[in-house]
Chain A
C-alpha cells in the first residue's frame, strides 16, 4: 500500500492499515478548547455505601463527564451510582495547614476503648460481697 501524501510504501502486518488507503501523516496539533475541563469522579460501589473519590475525567459538560466516568471507573467493579463534580468547584484546605489537624497527641478520650469500667465494677462488687459477709 502506498500513502497518497508521503508516497511511502507501507508493508504493514495490520489489516486496518492496509484497508485505510491513505494516511493522515500530517501533524495537526490539538487546539486549546479541544482540551476539556476536568471533573472529579465519585464512585458508589453498592447502594447504601459511601461515594468514594476515584479520579478525574476530561469532559466538555457534566453529561459527557458521566459517560466517560462510566467507561473509566465502572467498567470492571460493581457500581450503583456515580457523581461528577467540576474540579474547580472543589474547595481544599491545603497541605500548608496540615498541622491544624493534629491537636493533642492523646485522643483516647474520644474513643470507646479509652473508657475502662469493668475493673471498677468488679472491685465494687467484691467490696459489696465482703460487706454482706460481715
Chain B
C-alpha cells in the first residue's frame, strides 16, 4: 500500500564528507537518468535516507495489514472476504519486497524488524487510527490506497534500482486494491440510508489522517533539495497531496459524500487545493508513537513475532550466516 516514508532532517546527525570526484560521477549518472545499483558507490546521506525511506515504507505495509486484517472475519460476503484476504496477503508480500530492497543498502532485516518492534522506527500515521466499521475498510481500500499509489508511482521513477523494481511490482498489484476499495466504497454510497451514514461517518474520521498522510508542508530546505536532486524524493509533499486531492475529491463528491472541512476547495486561479488547518501537531503526536492505536498495533505485531518464534527456531540452521541480496 503505503507510500514512502517521511523525511525528517535531524541537524544533530553528523554527515561525513563524500569524495567530491565520486560524488560528481554519481550525480552525473543520476542526471543521465541511469539507475543506481547496490554495488555502486553512493553518498553517505543517499544511503542513509534511502534505508530510512524504504524501511518506513516496509513497516507501513506490515502495520497497514493490521486494521484491515481484523476485518477479514467480518467482511460482508464471500467475494469481499476473498478479496480482503488477497489484499492483506499482498501488503505483507510488499513489505517483504521492500525489506529486501532496503537490505541491499546494508541494513539487515533483523535490525529493521527489531527497530519496528522496539518502537524506534516510524511508519505511516494512518495505521494508528481504529477501523471501527466496515466503511472504514472501504475508505482505507479506496482513499488510503489511492494516496499511497500517488506516492508509489512517483517513487518508482526514483534513482535506486532495487527500490524502483520493488515498486513496479507493488504498483501493479495495488491497482486491484484500489479497485476493490472503490467497489466497496461505491456499494455503501449507493446503498441504504444507514449504509450511507456509516460511510459518511468513516470519511469524516479519515479525512484529517489522509491530509496528514503526505507529510507536513515542505520547507524550502537545502536538505530536501538535495534529496530531490538525487531522486530519492520525487515530488514535494504538497505536490503529491494536491495531485491526490485533484483526482479523488471529485470521485467522492459525485456520490454526495462530503468532507468535514468547509475550507476544502480548489483555487480556480492557481489550480491548487486549499484546506483548513489540519492540526500538524496531531500528525507529529501520531508519528512519534502517541496516536489512538500505536500501542495496540505494536503489541499485536510483537505478539505475532513471539508466536512465530518457536517455528523459526525449529527450522533454524545454526551454521548459516546472513547474506545480502544482490538486486
List the interface of chain A (C-beta within 8 A of B).
3, 8, 10, 12-17, 20, 23-38, 40, 53-58, 60-61, 64, 71-72, 75-76, 86-88, 90, 92, 94-96
Q: Contact flags (1/0) for B93-119 with A, using CB distance below 8 Å? A: 100110010010000111001100111
B322 close to A (CB within 8 Å) = yes
When chains A and B are docked, how far (Å) is the Cα of A55 from the Cα of B233? 23
Partner of A37, one of B73, B110, B312, B322: B322
When chains A and B are docked, how far (Å) is the Cα of A90 from the Cα of B295? 42
Partner of A34, one of B110, B165, B307: B110
B46 close to A (CB within 8 Å) = no
B31 close to A (CB within 8 Å) = no
| Also in contact, A30 and B113, with CB within 8 A (given A37-B320, A86-B323) | yes
Q: Report chain A residues within 8 Å CB of B103.
A: 38
CB distance from B281 to the nearest CB of A (A): 24
Complex interface residues of chain B between 140 and 172 (CB less than 8 A to chain A): 165-166, 169
The residue of chain A having its C-beta at the shortest distance from the C-beta of B129 within the complex is A13
| Also in contact, A35 and B325, with CB within 8 A (given A24-B303, A29-B118, A58-B109) | no
CB distance from A128 to the nearest CB of B (A): 52
The residue of chain A having its C-beta at the shortest distance from the C-beta of B132 within the complex is A13
| Also in contact, A60 and B317, with CB within 8 A (given A24-B303, A71-B93) | yes
Partner of A33, one of B37, B307, B320: B320
When chains A and B are docked, how far (Å) is the Cα of A86 from the Cα of B302? 29
**Is B325 a contact of A56 with CB atoms below 8 Å?**
yes
Specify which of A17, A26, A56 lies most central, judged by the most chain B CB atoms within 10 Å of its CB. A56
Q: Report chain A residues within 8 Å CB of B113.
A: 30
When chains A and B are docked, how far (Å) is the Cα of A127 from the Cα of B78? 78
| Also in contact, A87 and B326, with CB within 8 A (given A29-B114, A32-B110, A35-B108) | yes
Complex interface residues of chain B between 289 and 327 (CB less than 8 A to chain A): 295-296, 299-300, 302-303, 305-307, 309, 312-313, 315-318, 320-327
Give the number of A-B contacts (CB < 8 Å). 125
Residues of B within 8 Å of A, CB-based: how many? 53
**Is A23 a contact of B70 with CB atoms below 8 Å?**
no
Partner of B302, one of A27, A35, A56: A27
**Is A55 a contact of B100 with CB atoms below 8 Å?**
yes
Q: Report chain A residues within 8 Å CB of B321.
A: 37
**Is A40 a contact of B70 with CB atoms below 8 Å?**
no
Partner of B89, one of A17, A61, A75: A75
Q: Report chain A residues within 8 Å CB of B278.
A: none
When chains A and B are docked, how far (Å) is the Cα of A25 from the Cα of B169? 34
**Is B325 a contact of A38 with CB atoms below 8 Å?**
yes
CB distance from A7 to the nearest CB of B (A): 13
B173 close to A (CB within 8 Å) = yes
A/B interface sample: 9 pairs, CB < 8 A = A27-B302, A28-B309, A32-B322, A34-B312, A38-B103, A55-B325, A57-B100, A76-B173, A90-B326
When chains A and B are docked, how far (Å) is the Cα of A36 from the Cα of B311? 13
**Is B93 a contact of A75 with CB atoms below 8 Å?**
yes
**Is A40 a contact of B96 with CB atoms below 8 Å?**
no
**Is A72 a contact of B97 with CB atoms below 8 Å?**
yes
**Is B303 a contact of A95 with CB atoms below 8 Å?**
no
CB distance from B36 to the nearest CB of A (A): 10
**Is B323 a contact of A87 with CB atoms below 8 Å?**
yes
**Is A10 a contact of B296 with CB atoms below 8 Å?**
yes
Complex interface residues of chain B between 220 and 268 (CB less than 8 A to chain A): none
Apart from A13-B130, A15-B73, A71-B89, 9 more pairs, CB < 8 Å: A27-B118, A28-B306, A29-B118, A34-B110, A40-B325, A61-B315, A86-B323, A87-B323, A87-B324
B39 close to A (CB within 8 Å) = yes
**Is A13 a contact of B131 with CB atoms below 8 Å?**
yes
**Is B114 a contact of A30 with CB atoms below 8 Å?**
yes
Sort A-B residue pairs by CB-CB distance and give the 8 closest, nearest first. Answer: A56-B325, A14-B70, A35-B110, A24-B306, A30-B110, A13-B130, A38-B325, A23-B299
When chains A and B are docked, how far (Å) is the Cα of A28 from the Cα of B302? 8
